[in-house]
Structure 1
Amino acid sequence: MRVGVGSRNPVKIAAVEAVFDARETQVDPVVVESVGAESGVAEQPFGERETLAGAENRARRAAAGRDLGVGLEGGVSEVADADGLYLTMWAAVTDGESLGRGSGPRLQLPEPVALRIRDGEELGPVMDDVLGESDVAKKQGAAGALTDGIIDRQEALEHAVAGALALFVTDVYDRE
């Protein structure tokens, strides 16, 4: 099985590989391929709808010529009935016909970070600045920094991918 991941980010690719490695059998080996796929949304998606749309767009583009395409998108969202701005992660998986969706955890952003995001900055560079590091998004991510490593970006993305893959691995869902 060939699986395209609509990203060049090593953390996103590793998350998809980990999910498929957990399911792989000798009979059905999986080859995960990185595909540079545009999200079609803002560099810093704002809101669940825009973040999910980015994941779906990446999945569709990554599916071309493959058995499955996987798209992952991180964004920030206001959450109804909860104060603050939250880090959100969405994954989409498609076989070209059906589309599965799953999300990772939501983590409340510290107010100084949220203020900068609301002023138009992107989360990755803001986290780099706040932590005094570089390429946080390609390492532990905001999820790792905000939880002191209890979960990291890869693990959070794995949960989103597993949720999106559910449509394709069980008979519980009605795929039409």
Structure 2
Amino acid sequence: MNHHQTSIAPSPLRIVVGSTNSAKIESVRRAFSSLEHFSGRSIEVEGIAVDTGVADQPFGDEETLQGAKNRVCEAKRKRPDADYWCAVEGGCFWQEWGLCVFSWGVVADKDNTKWARSGSFTLPQSIAERVKAGVELGYACDHVFGTTDVKRGLGVVGVLTHGAIDRIQYGAHVITLALIPFINPSLYPPPEEEAA
């Protein structure tokens, strides 16, 4: 009898995303799949509807990060048996040269929650004016560019980079950055009070 045939494959890695947006779900799948740390296990990603507790179009780091954290907390509450819970929240902030866009990515396991911020880029004035008037970024982009539901496809980043960086890549980038402490646990030990 060949003992190699009796080995049991490791259980799938269960990841829950605090969103039903297909681009965000695929971002998370791509981030985990790209890391050697998780290569020994199959990956199952589920997106669920959650309440962000912030505006549909968050402004500034604080509100945007809070929205991502709220998504993760709600996902954890609804699916407590997962291995990881993730969220990507896009936000805007004003600079003297215009309205800029960025994202926060949050990842949690059973013991820790970590986050990272993406790079940012400036919106065209035609979109910025609509966002300033209270229109959510995705809808403002659809109106200006004649796209349909761009936030579930290329995203505004994909439209403006002519497909060089799409929304899935942009989200995967920030989730990968948020995963750094999880894939380097010896470099990010828990605080002393948590270890007691």
The TM-score with structure 2 as length reference comes to 0.83
Return the letter of the residue paired with 1:57. N
1:117 aligns with 2:126: no
1:65 Cα shift?
Answer: 2.3
Return the letter of the residue paired with 1:45. P
1:104 Cα shift?
Answer: 2.0
Partners in 2 of 1:34 and 1:175 — Cα distance? 28
Q: Is the 8 A contact 1:15 1:158 kept in 2?
A: yes
- Out of 81, 84, 98, the position equivalent to 1:65 is 81
1:173 aligns with 2:188: yes
Partners in 2 of 1:175 and 1:115 — Cα distance? 44
Which stretches in structure 2 are left out of the alignment for 5+ residues? 1-12, 192-196
Which stretches in structure 1 are left out of the alignment for 5+ residues? none
Q: Is the 8 A contact 1:85 1:109 kept in 2?
A: yes
Partners in 2 of 1:15 and 1:30 — Cα distance? 13
1:9 aligns with 2:24: no
Counterpart in the other structure of 1:52:
65
1:83 Cα shift?
Answer: 2.3
Counterpart in the other structure of 2:174:
160
SS of structure 2 residue aligned to 1:41: coil
Equivalent pairs: percent with the same residue? 35
Partners in 2 of 1:122 and 1:92 — Cα distance? 21
Q: Which of structure 1's runs of 4+ aligned residues deviate more than 4 A?
A: none
Partners in 2 of 1:135 and 1:175 — Cα distance? 41
Alignment of 1:142-161 (within 5 A): 142-161=156-175
Q: Is the 8 A contact 2:126 2:144 kept in 1?
A: no
SS of structure 1 residue aligned to 2:164: coil
1:99 Cα shift?
Answer: 1.2
- The Cα RMSD (Å) is 1.4
Worse-matched range after superposition: 138-147 or 113-122: 113-122
Q: Is the 8 A contact 2:141 2:150 kept in 1?
A: yes
1:29 Cα shift?
Answer: 2.7
